[in-house]
Amino acid sequence: MHDFCFTIPYGLILIGGGVFGYFKKGSTASLAGGVGTGLLLVLAGYLSLKAFEKRKNSYFALIVETVCAAILTYVMGQRYYQTSKIMPAGMVAGISALMTGFYLYKIATGGNHFPTKTE
């Protein structure tokens, strides 16, 4: 599976969660964190998709995706540890940990792999 297949939906979920948190609790931190990180991930996913269309890998996008997911894992993991609340801290920490593992796997295996051309 290609990184952008998961990164773009992951970013959109974070954007939606940030907006939801802002409207539900008035949390500007939720809005800034969710929307900011989500937009960065959507942009990285888009860069990766465009590179894939040219049959190349965007290691820059993979690094950005990995760093964002790792930071979210740490920050939201700490918040979950302090509050013991599954939503949103535990959920975001768990998803972000899975995504961090996925991105590290993609880096270790050489990025996105391209289908062979058959004529």
Digit-coded pLDDT (tens) for 21-33: 999 999 899 999 9
Tokens 């998961």 map to which residue? Answer: 6
| pLDDT score of 119 | 57
The predicted structure's pLDDT at residue 102 = 97
Compute the distance between CA of residue 61 and CA of residue 105 in angstroms, rounded to an integer: 14
Amino acid letter, 102: F
| C-alpha torsion angle, residues 20, 23, 28, 33 (rounded to 10) | 10
The predicted-structure confidence for 60-101, as pLDDT tens digits, reads as follows 999 999 999 999 999 999 999 999 999 999 999 999 999 999
